[in-house]
Amino acid sequence: MWGLESRGLQSGELDWWEQPTSDLLPLLRKRQDVTVDIIDTLDRHLDMTRARLDEALWSRQRSRELGITDDPDQRFSFAVLDYAIRGLYAEISNIAQLRDEIASGTTRDPVKRVRRSKGQIRRRAPGNPN
């Protein structure tokens, strides 16, 4: 399916593709006549994720107000909700960091930015499982 959309963008038959696959973005960026709006896409994703977080936080607060959180039968449901809330906070943080880095126009390779020695490989003695 993505092949048809990609060809449509490149030939001018398609004007807009909301969620292209990440492996095609470098190919699309090379084309002068195709604009890739990654920042706008990340902003929309951040807005949607914040809305999901707001809903989850509202649900948690409303459950407290109604006294549902004291029900032992609901313990696992609230544990899952808390886990989802933590995941949404992490997702917002990661996407915001990615968005800011892309917006600043960094050209440095992320792998080359890490300045740590690679360490040594320790070989095991023959016949020794550890």
**Residue 49 pLDDT > 60, yes or no?**
yes
Question: 0.75 exceeded by the pTM?
Answer: no
Residue 105, pLDDT score = 63
Position with higher pLDDT, 68 vs 102:
68
The yes-or-no verdict on residue 83 having pLDDT over 60 is yes
Checking if the pLDDT of 73 tops 80, the result is: yes
Residue 114 DSSP one-character state? -
Give every CB contact of residue 46 below 8 A, 6+ residues apart in sequence: 92, 95, 96, 99
Per-residue model confidence (pLDDT) at position 129: 61
> Pseudo-torsion of CA 55, 59, 62, 68, nearest 10°?
180
Q: Please state, in angstroms and rounded to a whole number, the distance separating the CA atoms of residues 103 and 40.
A: 10
Looking at residue 60, what is its pLDDT? 92
Most confident of 9-18, 21-30, 37-46: 37-46
**pLDDT tier at 108 (50, 70, 90 boundaries)?**
low
CA distance linking residue 65 with residue 128, whole number of Å: 60
pLDDT single digits (tens) 14-36: 655 556 666 666 666 666 655 66
Q: In the predicted model, what is the mean pLDDT of the chain?
A: 77
